[in-house]
Structure 1
């Protein structure tokens, strides 16, 4: 198993990056949040998980070991493959995944494309007692208390503009171009918050890339 890669970032794309290790360029599939931290030409270290299939070898990269371990644990649930596990981490940070599963917050889990009510219930049933708490996670008891008497949880809204600006600049566009695209997408983000309580960074990144590509 390839547990991590470290080297110069040779290229960045909407769904991953190429990291040069010992003269070899390794293609690594990453979430938008991880991609946003990478800069072409700079050194980077990614925790990785190698997924072996009959017709492919796919290397998935993560910001840290905790995220990688959660990616692998998610795949132990029935019906969850590497792409769906990555989608979970693209929508929610590890601490939010743990909170949602541990507290049975189906609404947050259903924000992930590909996870319906039955899938969310299955994740809670199969993983609730196995996830634990990561070193960077907030207290689950505190998260539960914060829900108050409403009986439901609302995922915090991520700083999506800063995250997407970094990702777009890393892909070669200027800050001005990135700001222009994200300004047009602000109403979309507001609609997402109104509908689900959070911003789907992956969806906004794809839309921004389409807009900039047409320009």
Structure 2
């Protein structure tokens, strides 16, 4: 597995970048938010994961290890491959994904192109115990005087 790459950005595209590492240009698929932080000719460090398929090797890059970990967890849900997992992180921050799964908020998950209600339900069911709580803090409980299900 290639856990990270660090080098000079030599090219930027709408869905990918090329990072030159030790004289070798690595094509890395990234979300638009990750790409927005990169500049041609400047150094970059990306957390990465290598997805191996029968006919291709694809390197996916992220601004940090947390996003990479959520990407990898998303792929363990039924019907979610690397492209859909990347689309999720292109629309939602890792903590928003965790919160949506923990709160079973299907409306948030269905904002991602390619995820309908049934797909969101599968993601919640498959990942409920794998993603953990949002890193920004525990899920808020009910406000004082408010019933628990409101």
Q: TM-score, normalised to structure 2's length?
A: 0.92
Contact 1:16 1:35 in 2 (8 A): yes
SS at match of 1:115: coil
Contact 1:99 1:140 in 2 (8 A): no
Instruction: Give the distance between the partners of 1:119 and 1:48, measured in 2 at CA.
Output: 25
Aligned to 2:113: 113
What are the within-5 Å matches in structure 2 for residues 83-122 of structure 1? 83-122=83-122
Instruction: Give the distance between the partners of 2:133 and 2:36, measured in 1 at CA.
Output: 25
The count of aligned residue pairs is 147
Deviation at 1:145, TM superposition (A): 4.9
Deviation at 1:40, TM superposition (A): 0.7
Which 5+ residue runs of structure 1 have no aligned equivalent? Answer: 153-215
What are the within-5 Å matches in structure 2 for residues 1-215 of structure 1? 1-133=1-133, 137-142=135-140, 145=142
Instruction: Give the distance between the partners of 1:140 and 1:36, measured in 2 at CA.
Output: 30
Instruction: Give the distance between the partners of 2:65 and 2:21, measured in 1 at CA.
Output: 19
Deviation at 1:133, TM superposition (A): 3.4
Contact 1:7 1:45 in 2 (8 A): yes
Instruction: Give the distance between the partners of 2:35 and 2:105, measured in 1 at CA.
Output: 27
Instruction: Give the distance between the partners of 1:42 and 1:113, measured in 2 at CA.
Output: 32
Higher helix share: 1
Deviation at 1:140, TM superposition (A): 3.8
Higher strand share: 2
After superposing on structure 2, the runs of 4+ consecutive aligned residues of structure 1 that deviate more than 6 Å are: none
- Deviation per residue, 1:71-101 (Å, 9 max, x gap): 0111011100000000000000000000000
Q: TM-score, normalised to structure 1's length?
A: 0.65
